[in-house]
Amino acid sequence: NVGTWSQKLANFIDNLSIYYAKRVGIEKQGLNDYDDIIDINNDDFIILLRDISLTALFSKKQSLQSACCSVLKNLSYFKPKLILPNALDILYPVIKSTTNSRQLVPALHAINVLIIPILNRKLWPEGANHLKLLMELFLPGIDILDPYKTRGTFTFYQNIFINVPFIDANDKNEQ
C-alpha cells in the first residue's frame, strides 16, 4: 500500500526513533532538568516501531525502505534483543529464497545497515554466531545479471572486512 502519504509516514517513524534515541541518551546521562518521561524499561514503544518497520521494509518506495532500516538500526542500539532476532527471522527466508527478487534488495540493505549492531558483542553477544551463516547466504548474491543484488552483496562483505578484526589463530602474540 503505497501513496502520497508514504514518505510522510516514513519520515515520521524515522524521526520518532531519532528523537527517542536522543531523549534516552539525555536521560541516561542525567543532563535533563525535568523528571524522566521515558521509561527506558518500557518495551512497548520499541516493539511498535519494530513491527511497523519490519512490515514496511519491503515497500516499493526506496525512501520508505531506507527509513525503516534507519529505525531498526537506531532501536537496535537500545534493545538489540527485541530488534535483531525478529529482524533476522524475517530477513533470513528472503535472503535464502531465489524467487523473491523484489524483496531481496531491501533485505540485503537491511542486513547491511544492521550488521554493526549484529556483530557488536557488547550489544548482542549472540550476534557473532550469525556471521558464518550470513556470509554463506550472501555469497550467491554476486550475480552479473543483477547489479543491485551484487552491490548489496559487496557492501555486506565490505562491512564485514572493515568491522571484523582478522587475526591469525596460530599467532600467540596477537590479542
Per-residue pLDDT of the chain (175 residues; tens, 9 = 90+): 677 888 898 999 999 999 988 888 887 787 776 665 656 667 888 999 999 999 999 988 888 999 999 999 999 998 999 999 999 999 999 999 867 778 999 999 999 999 999 999 999 999 989 999 999 999 998 989 889 999 999 999 999 999 888 887 777 765 5
pLDDT given for residue 39 in this prediction: 64
Under 8 Å between Cβ of 160 and 131: yes
Under 8 Å between Cβ of 67 and 13: yes
- Residue identified by cell 529482524 is 87
Under 8 Å between Cβ of 10 and 2: no
Under 8 Å between Cβ of 84 and 124: yes
- What phi and psi values does residue 38 have, to the nearest 5 degrees? -90, 125
- In this structure, how many other beta carbons lie within 10 angstroms of the beta carbon of residue 108? 24
- In this structure, how many other beta carbons lie within 10 angstroms of the beta carbon of residue 82? 15
pLDDT given for residue 171 in this prediction: 76
How far is residue 65's CA from residue 3's CA, in Å, rounded to a whole number? 14
R_g (Cα) of the chain, nearest Å: 18
**CA 25 from centroid of its chain's CA atoms:** 20
**CB-hemisphere CA count at 13 Å for 9?**
16
pLDDT given for residue 25 in this prediction: 81
Under 8 Å between Cβ of 30 and 88: no
Task: For residue 16, give the nearest of 42, 49, 40 by alpha carbon.
Answer: 49
Cβ burial of 147 (10 Å; 0-12, 13-18, 19+) is exposed
pLDDT given for residue 151 in this prediction: 95
